[in-house]
Structure 1
Amino acid sequence: MAAPLSIAFFASSLVSAYWNGAATYYRGMVRALSGLGHRITFYEPDAYDRQAHRDIEDPEWATVVVYPATEQGVFRSLEAAGGADLIIKASGVGVFDALLESEVLRLKRAGTQVVFWDVDAPATLERIAGDPRDPFRALIPLYDMVLTYGGGDPIVRAYRRFGARDCIPIYNALDPDTHFPVPPAPRLKADLSFLGNRLPDRERRVEEFFLSVAGKLPNRSFLLAGSGWQDKERSENVRYLGHLGTGDHNAFNCSSRAVLNVSRDGMARNGFSPATRVFEAAGAGACMITDRWDGIEQFFEPDREICVADNGDQVAEILERLTPSVAAAMGTRALARVRAHHTYAHRARQFQKIFAAGPVRRAYLGGAP
């Protein structure tokens, strides 16, 4: 086994999923890495009212440092993180991202690597491609490595074109200790359910793959959960829950005939970006319907472990022919697949293999490798 690492992790939040879709990804990865003996200190800002909407208490498998959302708070946390074997700056911290992206690089020392972990790579790459003056462009070659939680070869090639020394996807996965089958909850029953916050690069696709389907199938029931949809126009057969804490996610996934996944625009364009909810729903044994994106077959077998739709009309067709027995069988097969191949234990072993050889020694030569 490789020597345990001391890891300083700067990201949005480990303890709160409120307006923080990456929370379960961070929890799964950090917990699995801790299980391999690595020591993680997770630095998160006191921002966006997340601490008032905690889903979990400080866990035993990480040290959580909540710092004030101020420049002083950032610099104090950076000072505390100095000396770690590995320092990670995740995308989308939410406050002082640009400051953190430049200042973590000052912590590089012999034996200390600094890594950028992009949990929304399509959005990051589209942003910097559209703005030659974006300060992050010049910083990419200075990081020892870029990790992403999806995107496959298209994202890897794009990051290398911007000078990344290396770029490796570590995909979303399942934590079987937190996401598993539970009895259905009557209050969460529906024919089709969707869970996701209202975001500009997702809203149009939610309209097409979910809300329009509800309008076409007035005799079916639909359940919408996530922050920000309260004033969104929807038909009478769509019930809205608002923010749904992670403690209710298993019941949410187990109470509907099918659960819908809708990708954000950039992730759909690039493909190879399964959302965390796909693995969580599979871990609960749910029958899933997803919009189509390249790379699905690397994670689930279409029409056997997951239903795939090109548009809202196809979602409606799938839902109309989906019997309870067919849905249950598909969910069972998805559960077996995800537990066998796509847990955070698998991802943590991949992470450990990446860093087992010590600091990355690949020389930056400029341009695409």
Structure 2
Amino acid sequence: MSAPLKIVVLGLSLSSSWGNGHATTYRALLSAFVARGHDVLFLERDRPWYAAHRDLDPTFCRFALYQQVADLEAWRADIVAADAVIVGSFVPDGIAVGRWVQEIAGGLAVFYDIDTPVTLARLEDGDAEYLSPDLIPGYELYLSFTGGPALRRLEQVYGSPAARPLFCSVDAETYRPLDRPKRWDLSYLGTYSEDRQPTLETLLLETARQAPHLRFCVAGPQYPDSIAWPANVERLDHVPPAEHPAFYSASRFTLNVTRADMIAAGHSPSVRLFEAAACGTPIISDVWPGLDELFIPGEEIALATDAQAVLDLLNAPPEVGERIGTAGRARILGQHTARHRALKLESYLRQALATSAVPLSAPSEVSAYAEI
């Protein structure tokens, strides 16, 4: 049996899922990692908007808040002693944090990018405030939410010694089908995003206008008051993670909408995609490269580009949605649970530790979803 690993994670948030998908990603991954006998310390910058919406007191790992970069000195000994220190995307003052970690870490310095397409776009524009091009070669391992060509770009253009896919996942014990009355015919769960809104307008709001007899829901914070919601669209400002399974289970179908940068990059599955599928809820998704490597279209997920396609699915016999939901859940349980990702993270870390500064084998010929 290999020795347990000790890691320190400096991430955007573990304690609050408000307005971000990072928290649920870290919760699923790290709780499964700890369950394998490893030790985790998570350090989170204390921000007022998260402090006002905390929905978890982490008990599966050691957890602490800090106020500013200089406060991290209190955990210097932990960072020096750790087998790996993982810095996440969108960490406040992430460039300063990354430089400090690379200077003092006794083990691996690792970057975990939960926003790879956004990061690459910002690097191109020179405004990625949490990562600079000169830092990338200093991270022995670059873990990415995005697979495919983005990995090669990180290695060949930005000099990453090893860029590897580590997609989001789901805690299958928490996200499971629940016996709930169907409250909505189609739901959507996600924070407002300007570049997602046109697709939401096309696939959900326009569908709602064309089908006033059906029930819809859009859940998530930060939607502007200027949006004209159809009368049959219910709005929920925030659904905490503990209530996600009930939310999905109350939906005949749920919608997946992808940000423009992630569509352009491809191979960028959202955590909501995994969570909804694990609950057995049939998903209607927009279309992007690599999605067909994750689910079989028409069997495990439904695809739509306009309101009519959505209406056709909502008006189909009930067994159509039930079949898609059952098959989608089976796919998630077989390949995309938190346990699968924890095993992959452990494998990456052990291989990088064993090879030290030697680059890992190239990922270019490996499927973006070859996680197990």
- Partner residue of 1:171 out of 167, 172, 182: 167
**Residue in 1 that maps onto 2:22:** 22
Deviations 1:161-180 (A, max 9, x none): 21111100111222111111
The separation in 2 between residues aligned to 1:332 and 1:102, in whole angstroms, is 46
Q: 1:304 to 1:256 in 2, by over 3 A?
A: same
Post-superposition shift, 1:48? 3.7
- Partner residue of 2:136 out of 134, 140, 147: 140
Post-superposition shift, 1:279? 1.0
The separation in 2 between residues aligned to 1:48 and 1:273, in whole angstroms, is 29
The separation in 2 between residues aligned to 1:202 and 1:96, in whole angstroms, is 27
Kindly report which structure 2 residues correspond to 1:255-294, keeping only aligned pairs within 5 A, or say none.
255-294=250-289
The separation in 1 between residues aligned to 2:115 and 2:356, in whole angstroms, is 26
Equivalent residue letter for 1:24: T
The separation in 1 between residues aligned to 2:178 and 2:49, in whole angstroms, is 30
Kindly report which structure 2 residues correspond to 1:1-369, keeping only aligned pairs within 5 A, or say none.
1-59=1-59, 61-68=60-67, 70-78=68-76, 80-93=78-91, 95-109=92-106, 112-131=107-126, 136-149=132-145, 151-160=146-155, 161-184=157-180, 189-229=183-223, 231=225, 232-321=227-316, 323-357=317-351, 358-363=353-358
Q: 1:22 to 1:311 in 2, by over 3 A?
A: farther
Q: 1:360 to 1:13 in 2, by over 3 A?
A: farther
Q: 1:311 to 1:48 in 2, by over 3 A?
A: farther
Equivalent residue letter for 1:159: L
Deviations 1:23-74 (A, max 9, x none): 1111111011111111000001111432332222222x21011112x23334
3-state SS of paired residue (1:183): coil
Query: Is the 1:205–1:264 contact (alpha carbons within 8 Å) kept by the matching residues of 2?
Result: no
Q: 1:96 to 1:286 in 2, by over 3 A?
A: same
Query: Is the 1:2–1:352 contact (alpha carbons within 8 Å) kept by the matching residues of 2?
Result: no
Query: Is the 1:192–1:221 contact (alpha carbons within 8 Å) kept by the matching residues of 2?
Result: yes
Equivalent residue letter for 1:163: G
- Structure 1 residue ranges without an equivalent (≥5): none
- Structure 2 residue ranges without an equivalent (≥5): 365-372
Query: Is the 2:16–2:53 contact (alpha carbons within 8 Å) kept by the matching residues of 1?
Result: yes
Post-superposition shift, 1:83? 2.0
Post-superposition shift, 1:254? 0.6
The separation in 1 between residues aligned to 2:158 and 2:319, in whole angstroms, is 49
Query: Is the 1:272–1:294 contact (alpha carbons within 8 Å) kept by the matching residues of 2?
Result: yes
Query: Is the 2:8–2:78 contact (alpha carbons within 8 Å) kept by the matching residues of 1?
Result: no
Query: Is the 2:204–2:307 contact (alpha carbons within 8 Å) kept by the matching residues of 1?
Result: yes
Post-superposition shift, 1:312? 3.7
Post-superposition shift, 1:230? 5.2
Query: Is the 1:107–1:114 contact (alpha carbons within 8 Å) kept by the matching residues of 2?
Result: no
Equivalent residue letter for 1:72: A
| Number of residue pairs matched by the alignment | 357
TM-score by length of 2: 0.90
Query: Is the 2:217–2:235 contact (alpha carbons within 8 Å) kept by the matching residues of 1?
Result: yes
Post-superposition shift, 1:294? 1.3
Query: Is the 2:69–2:97 contact (alpha carbons within 8 Å) kept by the matching residues of 1?
Result: no
The separation in 2 between residues aligned to 1:219 and 1:194, in whole angstroms, is 18
The separation in 2 between residues aligned to 1:359 and 1:200, in whole angstroms, is 44
The separation in 1 between residues aligned to 2:147 and 2:307, in whole angstroms, is 26
Post-superposition shift, 1:80? 4.7
Query: Is the 2:79–2:101 contact (alpha carbons within 8 Å) kept by the matching residues of 1?
Result: no
3-state SS of paired residue (1:82): helix
Query: Is the 2:122–2:128 contact (alpha carbons within 8 Å) kept by the matching residues of 1?
Result: no
The separation in 2 between residues aligned to 1:343 and 1:40, in whole angstroms, is 19
**Residue in 1 that maps onto 2:369:** none
Query: Is the 1:140–1:163 contact (alpha carbons within 8 Å) kept by the matching residues of 2?
Result: yes
The separation in 2 between residues aligned to 1:54 and 1:355, in whole angstroms, is 30
Q: 1:79 to 1:47 in 2, by over 3 A?
A: farther
Q: 1:124 to 1:133 in 2, by over 3 A?
A: closer
